[in-house]
Amino acid sequence: MAKPRIIILGAGLGGTIAAYEIQHAVKGRAEVMTVAESEDYWFIPSNPWVAVRWREPEAIRVHLPPVFKKKGIGFTSVGAKRVHPAEKRLELNDGTSLTYDYLVIATGPNLAFDEISGLGPHGGHTVSVCETAHAAEAAEQFERFCQNPGPIIVGAVQGASCYGPAYEFMLILETELRRRKIRDKVPMTFVTAEPYIGHLGLDGVGDTKSLLESTLRDKHIKWVTSARVTSVEPGMMHVEEVAEGNVVTKTHDLPFGFAMMLPAFRGVPAVFGIEGLVNPRGFVLVDKHQRNPAFPEVFALGVCVAIPPTGPTPVPVGVPKTGFMIESMATAIAANLSAILDGKPPIAEATWNAICLADFGDGGVAFVAQPQIPPRNVNWSSSGKWVHLAKVGFEKYFLRKIRKGESEPFYEKLALHVLGIEKLKM
């Protein structure tokens, strides 16, 4: 009798860790395979460093096929064209199909640059750090900018659900400009859909509001909150400040010589519009066990998962899915698949706890939110130069995990347990 087949769709942060963890959990009771659109894993949190050439892209790349082969995980980089959940079938980009018994969707998002005229690196007028290739292109533009410096705008547009990298990139740029001794020639403005600085899509964590406002003031960076970007032209961004009730209280025409704005996210084409599987934005619907209610053979984790916002805001603000939160989803799915293979019901629930290190070039902010979505049992934040050093160390540690094919070494599990930070609800 053939073993059941588990397919993981996606090989980013969530998909790669899920593949390792699921393979370990099922212990040969199922065939595990990953379907991705690239043979390479890129450590996305380092993209802001790539964009100022503090890292070369090759330094944050892991070539996956040899690692997956060593771990006994099937792999193809053909990519998926469409999920057919009623048929338990995955249609691939080359016209072939794979059937599955269980599917784990970990695709990440589709970047919705096209929703705002002039936004984005592909035919638009702003750069991006969402993908490593984008960040490498941004580095080239930044070098040209430094030859003729002017205003800089960084931030996140309406509907964005990832704010930490925008703060990071703004303050990394500020550090690099000081190192080049041209900071005095560069007015800087942070433009964000958040209702206040430090909201982060999470209604703040600890004292992030005061910490980040103080940091921006100290660095002479202005800001516009509750901002709706209406369009971007060469060298000019058009922004509306919005109050409750969708009332426009102020408009801004902001000149720039260099701009990076994080876009809104939506679901990828492979799942977009599938009734019962995704919401209107294309994000996968899951229950407390990371399982889709309409198609119980389908699980999902990471940025592709549908999570409602923390509350009403004048401008739409999404909820971020941070690294540790995503890892907790992977752990829950691995445990639930193991239980199902044993004929037991899935009971594992991810904690959705969050640990975040936001690097500011020569300092940073760290926070712990348990759980990530308020109300919380732990709500802590801190700042200091130690955060930058911790982020550098974490980059090296995490890339080592990916290269070795490990999801959570025993010493990491022990350290987190001692700190009271768990991946599964007990």
User: Annotated active-site positions, please?
Assistant: 162, 356
**259 DSSP β-pair partners:** 153
Please check whether residue 217 is in contact with residue 305, taking contact to mean a CB–CB distance below 8 angstroms.
Answer: no
Please check whether residue 322 is in contact with residue 355, taking contact to mean a CB–CB distance below 8 angstroms.
Answer: yes
Nearest CA among 317, 323, 338 for reference residue 160? 317
CA 326, CA 331: separation in Å to the nearest integer? 9
Please check whether residue 317 is in contact with residue 201, taking contact to mean a CB–CB distance below 8 angstroms.
Answer: yes
CA 264, CA 119: separation in Å to the nearest integer? 11
User: What sign for the dihedral angle of Cα 124, 129, 130, 136?
Assistant: positive
Nearest CA among 207, 124, 139 for reference residue 169? 139
First to last CA, the chain: 35
DSSP, collapsed to helix, strand or coil, labels residue 154 as strand
CA 34, CA 14: separation in Å to the nearest integer? 12
Please check whether residue 119 is in contact with residue 232, taking contact to mean a CB–CB distance below 8 angstroms.
Answer: yes
**Exposure string for 251-270, b = 16+ CB within 10 A, e = fewer:** eeebebbbbbbbbbbbbbeb
Q: How far is CA 80 from CA 8, 37, 68, 75, 278, in A?
A: 11, 8, 18, 12, 16
**Token couple for 415:** 């350290």
